[in-house]
Structure 1
Amino acid sequence: MVKPIVQLKNVSFTYPGAENTVLNNASLTINEGEFLAIIGGNGSGKSTLCKTFNGLIPKFYVGDFEGEVLVQEMLTADYTVAQLSKDIGYVYQDFENQLMRPTVIEDASFVPLNYGLADYKERGEWALKVTGLTPLRNEFIWQLSGGQKHLLALAGVLAMKPKILIVDEPVAQLDPQHAEEVYDILKKLNKDHGITIIVIEHHTEFIAKYCEQVVLMERGKVLWKKCVKDALSQVSELIGHSIYPPQVTQAAYLLDDFLKKDSYYPITVDDAVKHFHKGKVENNDIDESAEISQRLLKKEKKIVQFNNVSLQYRTFKKQKKQVLSNINLNLHEGDMVALVGNNGAGKSSLMKLITGINKPTEGDVFIQELKTANTSAERLGDIVSFVYQNPEEMFIDDSVRKDIEFYLKVRKVPDYEKIVDQLLEDFSLTEIQHRDGRLLSGGQQRRVSLAIGAAMKPSIILLDEPTANLDIATKKQVVHMLEKLKKHVQTVVVATHDMQLVSEWANRIVVMNKGTIICDGNRQEVFGDEDLMQKAGLSSPQILQLSNALHMNPLCYTVADFASRWNVKKVEGGISEYCEEFA
């Protein structure tokens, strides 16, 4: 028998001083045991909706609240946040704020200890086992990677063995392999322990593979709740709300050969292989590997050079920890490098060596022939710009324009106003130049951070996870902005777990694992090596997996590329006009 576990009835909410309502007469029923995804563009009200479930809204985040929320038939207005949180676990988007204790095991046991549960230690150990963190049980929190911290936040919530688990962006900061593991954990908790799972998710490929129900939100309204296959088949409607269905679903939509209006599109690679296997595809013998290798051989100007570089840290216990080992790497003018690998592979440490924040324990790093060990951070700052994963860390003034011009004014660059005007135009920021960057949307903040990095006129710019926590539509805007960086810098290096970004943007991929470089090549050399992908914790984008399964040559790295290769016409004029929105 289906039993409701969460019910929202005509819920509206407005933050103090805000002009617009964040929730607008929202009604929703979530049944016990469901695995449900809540989707919607940035600012649609997804996180606010979920914060009503455990009473954070309106009891912690105060404001104008109307309507009723019932959880397990309890009216949340009659209970405290602490009472509700016993059965409702929540992993927030800013999950690091949930880490309270110095060591991993202490943090995993912290919540049940605070509730006075006698078996708090056993619960903590169980949660670490479920999340795969047992080998790190005695590590200090600050020694963990971002992905490991995210898993620990999940473990801390699981220690209470909640009946409802809400996870805001489950795969944020995780490499593809660990992202799959997190969703496998959630699936196991759902199937084996009966926990109702609610995820706020932008990655529709994970929704397609793991979720059963999908809720679409827009401007604080719940537009609908549908089964996953039906939900993700609403391609045109989803795109209208800045949500992109799985790549294989987009491809089927572009090459639509369905006669029935209500037919479903494939949403997984396996579904798509069956869907497309009878079609006729155009193949050719383009050898991307040879083409790119030849281009790289012609490069002469080296911007960055690593010669037998190793790096060690001293831990809190004064022990030496090897972070990088025997790194040899040259970066050239014109390189658009994707730095990839599993969590803890050493990507951030390598970038810190380029900036001069860290000095090598062994070997030498040269930036434009300057040896970093003998060069001041200020001098290196004229050559290297680092754009942080969290854009707000780069905002120091009260407007976008002031943040962009800060470096130029400090260095007394002549006519800096003209430079700033050009950057504002290039990064589509002119209309918001006088707004406070900290109050902008995630996508706008990312554009501002890129402009700040470019303002320094560096030879090389380093970006740490530039597409993290962004919806897919906003990610596409950021990729477009990365293209614009070419006119401002010589070399771009992006550390990322976003394989779609890698496949669509990079002309060179450096793969790291356990502090070493295990591959330095192009898309074919990396994505075509299954053993390498497995070792580095990577996974190919859906459209590449599909084109590989269909033996397409060359492989396709974008939906538009895939669609253009088929002898199918959606309309008399072909499909080119439809491909533009997926390019």
Structure 2
Amino acid sequence: MASIELEQVTFTYPDADRPALSRVSLRAAHGEFVVLCGASGSGKSTLLRLIKREVSPGGRVSGAIRMDGMPVERWASREAAAAIGLVMQHPDNQMVVDTVEHELAFGMENLGLERNAMRRRMAEMAGFFGLEPLLSRRTDELSGGQKQLVNLAAVLMLQPRVLLLDEPMAQLDPLAARELLGMIKRLNEEWAMTVILSEHRIDELLPLADRIVRLDRGEVAFDGTPRAYAREAVRRSDPAWRLSLPAVTRWALERETAASRGLEPPLSVKEARSWLEASGERPPAPGVAASSMPPAGAHPKHLNQALLTAEGVFFAYDKHAPAVLQGLEWELRAGDWAVLFGGNGSGKSTLLQLLAGLRQPQRGKVRLAGAKLSRISPAERYAAIGYLTQNPVLHYAHDTLREDLRQAARHAGLPDPAAAAERAAEDFGLAALLDRHPHDLSGGEQQLGALAMTLMSRPRLLLLDEPTKGLDPLAKLRLAEHLTALHRQGTTLLLATHDVEFAASYATRCSLLFGGVIVADGAPDAFFQDNLFYATSLHRLFRTQGRAAEGAGAR
């Protein structure tokens, strides 16, 4: 067990005009589960990195950070490294060796563990996380979600007393995310491991956490229980707070009646069922859309013409490994706002790279408007297809966001790159960050900057790999507004994502990739209606309530 305490901690990045953290004081007691939330750029990642001194960012810091009452800088290097484990926001930043097995062993080797102890921990952790089939795989061939699980397993190999997690669910499919949270809660409850977890998607976390700490502009804006946080978010008129609440909580608050006015707002689907019964609120009939975000508005009519087509596509990363895609047949039609779902490692990112022309299928063809994609020049392809990779850091190559945006504008052939960079930064709310180094931006800010660069060429087809990853609810809403405007102007959109709520609110079409092929494809309401995991919390609530009502009627 270990406790973490921050006392009046202020931190400022080099050349920054204001602190990233300002007079932050908080304490995580032995065995406590603390959730950090707040807008992108509010200081959550910075706070976690300051606690883990080996990756502490450069800059000016004041105040005290203690573990078990002793300043972290006074702990011996070996003890500090083993006692505090950190799973970073971007999994690529944490991987250092070539294969999964070597990655899992790397930390234990550095601490000088005996071979038998290493083998025992390896067997236990690889089995628990289901990583045995991946042990010989190269780390650069893994999906983002698989990399995240490998990083977490590697951290837990050292059996830390304090576990820090920076948006650990951002790249996980819904089932993997639930399994991960269950495992973290077990570590917290059964081994009294202190957990500090930063996350924007707190729907599943409020029922699990002991405390919620919200950061706003680098300062602690709230520190209390999950129930108290929900009440505070309701009390405030700030949409950033209200949008951070679970979808079922917001839905209940929007339908408050005299009967429900004295009830506590529900924090989970289970509590929402009880709330429905106590309030007398009747759920909508099964099949009614249960979107929890503002509607995107009227979508352009489908032209029903195939814009991008995969014909019998096969792809494998290694000739000895099973094919990731196995004769995949699929088409993206002009006017689609399509969302691609699938488990971690199912091939979503691979398919997007093939459709963007960044990889070539070993068998089969990819066509753009009927023309074979491999025969289209790179310049024409770049002008027609915009692609946002899963890791936004890969889009940056210069020392400031301003220069990266200018370079993207030059590459797109715009007449005034400097003005284009200023406009793009203003549109995406990044104007104050133009002179920051891209690596000093938060994950959400990096994501928005990468999207701004991608849109410089004004492509007619936009492929986005996990575009909502790292975005707070308000930033996600702004992203939706940008994408909605593009869609209305005729841009065809394809998003690979695990964000079920976002897809249910904005997509016109949902597809599921499994076993190397598309196994489900249809309109969002029909797609979500009978799913257990690929479904919004409101879909789950209304479906179970509808079935309960049907059962009562039958009796």
| Band of TM-score, shorter chain | 0.7 to 0.9
Equivalent of 1:312, from 313, 316, 325? 316
Separation (CA, whole Å) in 1 of partners of 2:527 and 2:179: 22
CA contact (8 A) 1:344 1:514 kept: no
CA shift in 2, pair 1:246/1:379, >3 Å: same
Moved more, 197-206 or 540-549: 540-549
Separation (CA, whole Å) in 2 of partners of 1:16 and 1:424: 25
Moved more, 398-407 or 507-516: 398-407
In structure 2, the residue corresponding to 1:204 is in which secondary structure? coil
2:547 matches 1:547:
no
Separation (CA, whole Å) in 2 of partners of 1:216 and 1:433: 22
Letter in 1 for 2:276: F
Separation (CA, whole Å) in 2 of partners of 1:274 and 1:241: 26
> Percent of aligned pairs with the same residue?
27
CA contact (8 A) 2:407 2:417 kept: no
Shift of 1:394: 2.9
Aligned partner of 2:157 in structure 1 is: 159
Separation (CA, whole Å) in 1 of partners of 2:6 and 2:347: 45
CA shift in 2, pair 1:178/1:421, >3 Å: closer
CA contact (8 A) 2:2 2:161 kept: no
Aligned partner of 1:139 in structure 2 is: 137
Separation (CA, whole Å) in 2 of partners of 1:145 and 1:384: 22
CA shift in 2, pair 1:238/1:6, >3 Å: farther
Query: Normalized against structure 2, the TM-score is what?
Result: 0.85
Shift of 1:266: 0.7
Aligned partner of 2:470 in structure 1 is: 469
Tell me the alpha carbon deviations over residues 150-205 of structure 1, each in whole angstroms, 9 at most, x when there is no partner: 11111111111111111111202111111111111101211222212211111111
User: RMSD of aligned C-alpha atoms?
Assistant: 3.4
CA contact (8 A) 2:99 2:136 kept: yes
CA contact (8 A) 2:405 2:421 kept: no
CA contact (8 A) 2:428 2:449 kept: no
In structure 2, the residue corresponding to 1:345 is in which secondary structure? coil
Equivalent of 1:235, from 233, 236, 252? 233
Shift of 1:412: 5.1
Shift of 1:481: 1.1
Query: Normalized against structure 1, the TM-score is what?
Result: 0.82
2:254 matches 1:254:
yes
CA shift in 2, pair 1:451/1:24, >3 Å: closer
Aligned partner of 2:295 in structure 1 is: none
CA contact (8 A) 1:145 1:343 kept: yes
Separation (CA, whole Å) in 1 of partners of 2:422 and 2:61: 44
Separation (CA, whole Å) in 2 of partners of 1:83 and 1:402: 42
CA contact (8 A) 2:2 2:194 kept: no
CA contact (8 A) 1:205 1:246 kept: yes
Aligned partner of 2:106 in structure 1 is: 110
In structure 1, the residue corresponding to 2:323 is in which secondary structure? strand
CA contact (8 A) 2:126 2:132 kept: yes
In structure 2, the residue corresponding to 1:512 is in which secondary structure? strand
Separation (CA, whole Å) in 2 of partners of 1:419 and 1:68: 43
CA shift in 2, pair 1:394/1:112, >3 Å: closer
CA shift in 2, pair 1:296/1:234, >3 Å: closer
Shift of 1:241: 7.7
In structure 2, the residue corresponding to 1:116 is in which secondary structure? coil
Moved more, 427-436 or 116-125: 427-436
CA shift in 2, pair 1:169/1:300, >3 Å: closer
Structure 1: which 5+ residue stretches go unaligned? Answer: 289-294, 553-583
Aligned partner of 2:292 in structure 1 is: none
CA contact (8 A) 2:2 2:31 kept: no
Tell me the alpha carbon deviations over residues 87-114 of structure 1, each in whole angstroms, 9 at most, x when there is no partner: 1111111332222232222221221221
Aligned partner of 1:71 in structure 2 is: 67
Separation (CA, whole Å) in 1 of partners of 2:475 and 2:449: 13
CA shift in 2, pair 1:549/1:296, >3 Å: farther
Aligned residue pair count = 532
CA contact (8 A) 2:528 2:535 kept: yes
CA contact (8 A) 2:11 2:20 kept: yes
CA shift in 2, pair 1:447/1:66, >3 Å: closer
Separation (CA, whole Å) in 1 of partners of 2:150 and 2:107: 12
Aligned partner of 1:95 in structure 2 is: 91
In structure 1, the residue corresponding to 2:340 is in which secondary structure? strand
CA shift in 2, pair 1:466/1:327, >3 Å: same
CA shift in 2, pair 1:521/1:198, >3 Å: same
Equivalent of 1:48, from 46, 54, 63? 46
Separation (CA, whole Å) in 2 of partners of 1:283 and 1:351: 36
Aligned partner of 1:352 in structure 2 is: 353
Letter in 1 for 2:309: Q
Separation (CA, whole Å) in 2 of partners of 1:251 and 1:165: 33
Shift of 1:401: 7.1
Superposed, 1:191-202 pairs within 5 Å as 191-202=189-200
Separation (CA, whole Å) in 1 of partners of 2:421 and 2:26: 47
CA shift in 2, pair 1:159/1:13, >3 Å: same
CA contact (8 A) 1:454 1:489 kept: no
CA shift in 2, pair 1:31/1:422, >3 Å: closer
Structure 2: which 5+ residue stretches go unaligned? Answer: 290-298, 548-555
CA contact (8 A) 1:175 1:343 kept: yes
CA contact (8 A) 1:359 1:372 kept: no
Shift of 1:280: 4.3
CA contact (8 A) 2:167 2:199 kept: yes
CA contact (8 A) 2:467 2:495 kept: yes
Separation (CA, whole Å) in 2 of partners of 1:260 and 1:353: 52
Tell me the alpha carbon deviations over residues 382-407 of structure 1, each in whole angstroms, 9 at most, x when there is no partner: 32221223334334567767655656
Letter in 2 for 1:200: S
Superposed, 1:382-421 pairs within 5 Å as 382-396=383-397, 406=407, 409-410=410-411, 420=420
CA contact (8 A) 1:424 1:451 kept: yes
Separation (CA, whole Å) in 1 of partners of 2:380 and 2:417: 23
In structure 2, the residue corresponding to 1:233 is in which secondary structure? helix
Letter in 2 for 1:138: S
CA contact (8 A) 1:458 1:489 kept: no
Letter in 2 for 1:459: R
CA contact (8 A) 1:400 1:435 kept: yes
Letter in 2 for 1:111: G
